[in-house]
């Protein structure tokens, strides 16, 4: 699993590269994100372990595997993670809006009411 995660990090999509450039080095509210991280039987696109927040980027192929993605999300939620999903085109065309929703989720996880 670690070998596959390493390969995925080497072969990022344009959307993954763009989002990673904004998340790395604790740029977003001081949170440390990891990319292509194994969690259970899955490799998630981005995760902040400190606040149990997962970010998944979906390309066109995901419209055909919605049920599988839903099962994956449910499994990760049972482990206590919050999962946010974005389409690649959202990240590429609306990065500021995507970052704002991530920032809001980060603040909710850091400061639960």
pLDDT tens digits in sequence order for the chain, 113 residues long = 777 677 777 879 999 999 999 999 999 999 999 999 999 999 999 999 999 999 999 986 645 678 888 899 999 999 999 999 999 999 999 999 999 999 999 999 998 87
CA dist 46 and 33 (Å) reads 6
Query: Residue with structure tokens 């070998």?
Result: 3
pLDDT at position 94? 98
Angle at 31 between CA 88 and CA 24, to 5 degrees: 55
pLDDT at position 52? 98
The model scores a pTM over 0.85: yes
The answer to whether 51 touches 106, Cβ cutoff 8 Å, is yes
Q: Which CATH superfamily is domain 2-110 in?
A: VSR Endonuclease (3.40.960.10)
């Amino acid at each position: 699993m670690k070998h596959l995660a390493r390969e995925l990090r080497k072969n990022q999509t344009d959307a993954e590269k763009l989002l990673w450039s904004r998340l790395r080095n604790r740029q977003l509210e001081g949170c440390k994100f990891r990319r292509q991280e194994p969690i259970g039987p899955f490799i998630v696109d981005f995760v902040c372990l400190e606040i149990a927040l997962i970010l998944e980027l979906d390309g066109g192929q995901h419209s055909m595997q919605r049920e599988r993605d839903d099962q994956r999300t449910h499994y990760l939620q049972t482990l206590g993670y919050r999962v946010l999903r974005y389409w690649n085109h959202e990240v590429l065309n609306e990065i500021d809006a995507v970052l704002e929703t991530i920032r809001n989720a980060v603040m909710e996880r850091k400061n639960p009411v």
